[in-house]
Structure 1
Amino acid sequence: MRKLYKNYISNFSGLSKEIWMLSLVTFINRAGAMVIPFLSLYLVNEKGFTLPQIGWIMTCFGLGSLAGTWVGGKLTDTIGAYKVITTSLFLGGLGFLALQFIDTFYGFCIGIFTLIFIADSYRPAIFVACDAYSKPKNVTRSIALIRLAINLGFSIGPVIGGIIIARISYNSLFWIDGVTCILAAVLLFLLLKPKKISREEKETAKIKEGVSPYKNPLYLLLILIMVLSGMMFVQYFSLIPLYYEQAHFLSEDVIGGLLFLNGIIIVLFEMPLVGWLERINISKTMATFWGILFLASSFLVLNLNDSFMVLVLGMILMTLGEMVESPFSNALALEMAPKGRKGSYMGLYSMSFSLSHIFGHNGGMNLADKLGYDITWYVIFSILAIVSVITLWLHKKYHKTKLRFEERAV
């Protein structure tokens, strides 16, 4: 047992104190983010919106995320990650407080767009901050630690959120979300200072190597993979909770418990898994491939039978896919980004998840509404199987390009 403990702790060694501080702030922020996993249930049960209306609201969610990540990436390259993160957290907290007072469909579309525009400018900035505050060899593990903080908060949040909904009200979640975002911003401002950059580094940062991400065909292929797989993954934020309630008649607190399972598995096993995969020298592209396959299987098993354990198995498979794909695809995107363009590259990478929100929620809701849940899961599995083949093609092309570059460098 002691050896297992030491091996687990060793996965965290060598990470900078700044990364730990960013992780702490991220944990506080995500622990309070209880509205998002229950948003589709809130819109049905409290606002009385239809599934197609919820699909359009979630499309506005995605459009806000798309615009926010694009602007966040640009701002990160100009004013720096620290200012973007702090401002996003503070204003996002105010946005959560205001959202609860909107009652109309169109008002909610505008409100959710504005809130997520502010909140998701954070995403490219946190990736660039990981790169700035980490040694090159620790970037993947730094990203994994940030993700651990996100998921530790996310695992606690839904459990507490489900209890709060069952015993108090949905509106309480908006207050908690808003206050914790503001608290995270204040802590970051007080405890973490911007990285000091020398005059030479500032001049170097102005030099933009390579090409724009929009002119890099292999990077655009990675973005396509992220968009398509993300469209399927986001069903766990909207359609799957409704499936749990409508097809399996689960209450909000039980749904929160299933979401807790996702977070707690990531907290316990992602860092050791990432450490082990790095030790066996798996490529970032192949890790992405295996992650997509696990995600695909998580939807397929839902049609095995109607037992609760099938839902647990699906959540475990999805979580395994997330643990493998997310940190390595993040690190792959950073690896492909040339100097002076990391903000733009990571902005586009973050925008891929935003595009997933735009099309994924709406597509999933309308598929389920017209074809039913069972056929929807088969359709999603088929799409992810195709995406996995595209990922293998990226693996082949990218590693040929890397070999040519290394030969030229020698």
Structure 2
Amino acid sequence: MVKKFLVVLIILLPLQFALNIGENFDLVTTRVLIPILFLLWLMKSFARKKVWLPRRAEVWLVASFLFLSWLSLFLGRDAEAGWRKLLYFFSIFPVFFVTADIAREEKWQKRAAAAVIASGTIAAAIALVQFSLPFVIGLGKSVKIWEGLVPYALGHSFGRLVAANSSWLVNIGGETRMRAFGFFPDPHNFSFFVNLCFFAGLGYFFWQKKIMPRIWVGVGLAFMLIAVVFSYSRGAYLGLLAGIIFFAVIFLKRSGLLGKVFVVVGIAAILVTIFNSNIISQRMVSSFDPKEGSNAERYKNWVQAVELARDYPLGGVGLGNYARAIDPASQDRSSVYAHNLFLDIAAETGIINAAVFFLLIAVSVWRNVRSKHMLNLGLAAGLIGFLAHSIFDTALYSPQVLTMLLVIIALGLSDNAKFKIQSSK
């Protein structure tokens, strides 16, 4: 039951909805289902008189991150302001321990990986429908429809915040377009999620030898790739590019001549298709324009975060205190953040905690590459893409993205021989 529960939870992540409990209290279903899953797992573990935890550095890094986040409440400015975020962490992180245990069985590791691909495909399909809507009924009506869905997908309180600070639209060559994001709050969190799923699917595709599963995975990969392109997220493009290059370099080192030719041709076709577009190239070039509005604002955010981390190096300003440290008039739920994952963590919970979270991802990349399994190579490439994208954005407080990130890291702890690269030599 616990194993099936996990698989269903992963698949349904893009379809989460909010329980509007109070005026300023939204609770998405992911934050309810994971604690239930964790409790069921604990009950099963106690019944067999053994709670299994992997003897891996990642477990200690996860525990250290949670401890330092808790400690920052007392070292920072206002402990009360951070309890909401701490509860958020403790409602999501348990999925790491459950997945790590379940993925020890090869059959369930494979099913969990397939669930990741299915989840990314569902997210991409919804986003592509949403992206296409303005071409059918017009931009204004499409925006109104999605604004009407926001309270159900995100909650009334968070939905109002998203609507007030929306990044759903983008100006491309003088034309305003709706970006692909599905039921996520914005294109950035959406593309973080889909990129993680895409690279897991890429590893699964190269491992799978049967034709029909390969076809289905290939269709899913195409959906995810197109959806990320239409998110118009420059950070997502950088993450996608970094992940593809990483995957290709490692794969080329390991495969025979036929594999090398296949990968070079395939990767070249993907890159030419994506970056040959004037729209995409314009978005990429604008990333390096210091006069561009969002770039100037992002640089300002970085400077502010660095200053806070410098002034509060040990515990940061305290979990949940970043927005008010920048703007004392900010509300409890604010859109103010550093636009860089590690600067966000360093400013709120200290430089050491930012290093801990970076090490969590870096160690997972190392372990996945070291395993020499095709699925693990895809997981590692997804984490590299996540790191690259995190230079420009923060997805730590997206329940869907954080859950998927922890699932990916947990899947990488397993070492099953069936995922080994089959050299074409």
Q: TM-score with structure 1 length normalisation? A: 0.30
The structure with higher relative contact order (CA 8 Å, sep 6+) is: 1
Of Structure 1 and Structure 2, the greater helix share is in 1
Q: TM-score with structure 2 length normalisation? A: 0.29
